């Protein structure tokens, strides 16, 4: 029964699950100091593998606060002063995104006496919002290309190429429906809005490029404006942009995903399909968002990141929330994820050595009709000194290297050679120990020492490249393991000695019992004095 328990104990990498959880929890606590809320503990592991990061332009590459630079009159003549009409429009609008907040700051309060009889809220799919007033008609605010019968003047084209947002204010006397194209419109004026590039965005994008993370900009804005902002932020390949309103689905969208860096006029469904296309190309994708239009893509992505200023729905759907809306903390999140994965891959190989050889050795003992050659205390010593103690402290070491390969294959490649060596040594000792002149009672101890040497070599591999901390951990773990062997030998000799002695004298080096034959150095004097350590084949203790 004892040996069966030892075999079962060895099959389970018990400490690894706890160690992974503790390491992730430490990473979450460290990120909390940088105002990053991690809502899913294992999202750090997902972020560590990300090689494509999808960003929005507004609030990510740029500051979250937009402002209206100027109002440009166009050809149309409004029935009432445009400021009054826009004041009424904004007073009765339920939209509260960054664009509408900027317009409310620009237009003075007014037009409160005008009450609309119908209104259509802004939609990322439609790219416009509308409101109908009695005797005045319908005022529409939205993307210029969605306004039927209007053209963008060259001066405003230049504004777009500089990265600014241009909205048309247009009116019509015809009925406007939310699910049908707009009727012919009369352009009244254009609003030019801008937002400064976020401080530190260039350094963050440069870091991500060095670490092999491709950044894609998915924006609902005009593609030329989004590309200009991306170029000012220092995004490589920002000149490769596409208008997604002219891109179909299926193969055409997949080709666009592989070719372009900046995607403008993207609908919520297209964001999701772009994420799916990146994943189909073999990438691990992270998606940032701040509105309900990003939720479809965030749920499809391998990891989702939301801004705190965004909608409640986006924050609930995200695995990570940036409480200060600071895009520049992404490298720190990436580094914490890599620390966890790299360190767990490093130490898991040591845990899996014991798991593999315990399973294979148990099968061998069943087929050979032999007891499992280890007992629980021996397995516990391996868990403590070879696996638990050094792995715990190694898990906190900074390691921001790019992750190579998958976790399980990497761990098995590290563990299999050592596990195979232990299995061959065990088979040789169990079947050929007598031929070598090794008494049966000494086989378990000999095997235990072999396991210690091979496991120490596995521990040494996990400590490479060596530094002061890893060197200290390796030396103290190895010394602790072999000192525990000597103490266990001494305890066995005391338990089987016929001379009475107190319990403390079996462990105190200053006691007479320690000096008179029970000291560890006395164990080699004669093989006839008993086996080297507790074993399944110990002889009965004399009465």
Would you name the residues annotated as active-site residues? Answer: 56
Alpha-helix residue ranges (DSSP H) falling in 33-81: 43-48
Beta bridge partners of 120: 130
CA distance 327 to 229: 15
Torsions phi, psi for 438 (to 5 deg): -95, 120
> CA 464, 342, 387: angle at the middle one, nearest 5?
65
Torsions phi, psi for 251 (to 5 deg): -65, -35
SS3 state of residue 304? strand
Cβ 527 vs Cβ 442: under 8 Å: yes
Residues 6+ apart with CB under 8 A from 353: 415, 418, 419, 422, 454, 455, 458
Residues 6+ apart with CB under 8 A from 316: none
Residues 6+ apart with CB under 8 A from 386: 350, 354, 452, 455, 456, 458, 459, 477, 481
Taking the alpha carbons at both ends of the chain, their separation in whole angstroms is 23
SS3 state of residue 214? strand
CA distance 131 to 315: 30
Cβ 287 vs Cβ 297: under 8 Å: yes
- The encoded tokens of residue 50 equal 């990300």
CA distance 301 to 285: 6
DSSP structure class, residue 463: T
Cβ 132 vs Cβ 176: under 8 Å: yes
Cβ 425 vs Cβ 454: under 8 Å: yes
CA distance 479 to 173: 89
Burial of 75 (0-12, 13-18, 19+ CB in 10 A): exposed
Alpha-helix residue ranges (DSSP H) falling in 376-442: 376-381, 389-394, 407-432
- Name which of 129, 166, 159 is nearest 144 in CA terms: 166
């Amino acid at each position: 029964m004892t040996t069966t328990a030892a075999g079962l104990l060895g099959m389970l990498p018990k400490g690894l699950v706890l160690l992974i959880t503790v390491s992730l929890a430490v990473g979450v606590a460290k990120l909390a100091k940088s105002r990053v809320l991690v809502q899913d503990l294992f999202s750090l592991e997902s972020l560590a593998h990300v090689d494509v990061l999808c960003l929005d332009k507004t609030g990510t590459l740029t500051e979250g606060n937009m402002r209206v630079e100027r109002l440009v009159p166009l050809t149309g003549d409004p029935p009432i002063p445009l400021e009054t009409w826009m004041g009424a429009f904004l007073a009765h609008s339920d939209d509260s995104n960054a664009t509408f907040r900027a317009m409310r700051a620009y237009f003075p309060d007014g037009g409160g006496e005008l009450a609309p009889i119908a209104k259509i809220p802004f939609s990322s799919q439609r790219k416009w919002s509308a409101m109908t007033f009695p005797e005045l008609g319908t005022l529409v605010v939205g993307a210029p290309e969605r306004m039927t019968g209007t053209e963008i003047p060259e001066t405003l084209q230049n504004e777009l190429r500089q990265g600014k947002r241009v909205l048309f204010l247009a009116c019509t006397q015809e009925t406007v429906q939310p699910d049908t194209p707009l009727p012919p419109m009369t352009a009244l004026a254009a609003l030019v809005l801008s937002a400064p590039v976020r401080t530190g965005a260039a350094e963050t994008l440069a870091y991500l490029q060095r670490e092999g993370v491709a950044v894609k900009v998915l924006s609902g804005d005009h593609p030329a404006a989004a590309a200009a902002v991306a170029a000012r932020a220092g995004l490589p390949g920002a000149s490769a942009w596409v208008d997604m309103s002219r891109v179909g689905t299926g193969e055409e969208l997949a080709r666009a995903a592989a070719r372009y860096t900046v995607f403008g006029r993207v609908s919520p469904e297209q964001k999701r399909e772009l994420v799916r296309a990146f994943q189909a190309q073999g990438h691990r994708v992270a998606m940032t968002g701040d509105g309900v239009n990003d939720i479809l893509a965030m749920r499809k992505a391998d990891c989702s990141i939301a801004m705190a200023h965004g909608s409640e729905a986006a924050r609930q759907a995200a695995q990570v929330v940036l409480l200060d809306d600071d895009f520049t903390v992404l490298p720190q999140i990436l580094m914490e994820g890599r620390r966890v994965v790299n360190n767990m891959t490093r130490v898991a190989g040591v845990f899996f050595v014991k798991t593999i050889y315990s399973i294979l050795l148990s099968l061998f003992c069943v087929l050979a009709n032999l007891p499992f050659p280890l007992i629980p205390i021996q397995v516990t010593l391996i868990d403590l000194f070879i696996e638990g103690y050094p792995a715990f402290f190694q898990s906190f070491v900074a390691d921001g290297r790019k992750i190579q390969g998958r976790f399980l294959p990497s761990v098995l490649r590290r563990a299999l050679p050592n596990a195979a060596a232990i299995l061959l040594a065990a088979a040789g000792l169990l079947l050929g120990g007598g031929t070598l002149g090794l008494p049966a009672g000494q086989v378990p101890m000999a095997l235990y020492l072999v396991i210690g040497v091979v496991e120490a070599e596995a521990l040494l591999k996990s400590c490479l490249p060596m530094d002061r901390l890893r060197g200290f951990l390796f030396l103290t773990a190895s010394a602790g393991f072999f000192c525990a062997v000597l103490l266990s030998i001494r305890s066995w000799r005391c338990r089987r000695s016929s001379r009475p002695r107190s319990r403390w004298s079996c462990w105190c080096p200053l006691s007479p019992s320690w000096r008179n034959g029970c000291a560890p150095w006395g164990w080699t004097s004669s093989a006839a004095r008993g086996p080297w350590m507790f074993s399944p084949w110990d002889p009965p203790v004399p009465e």
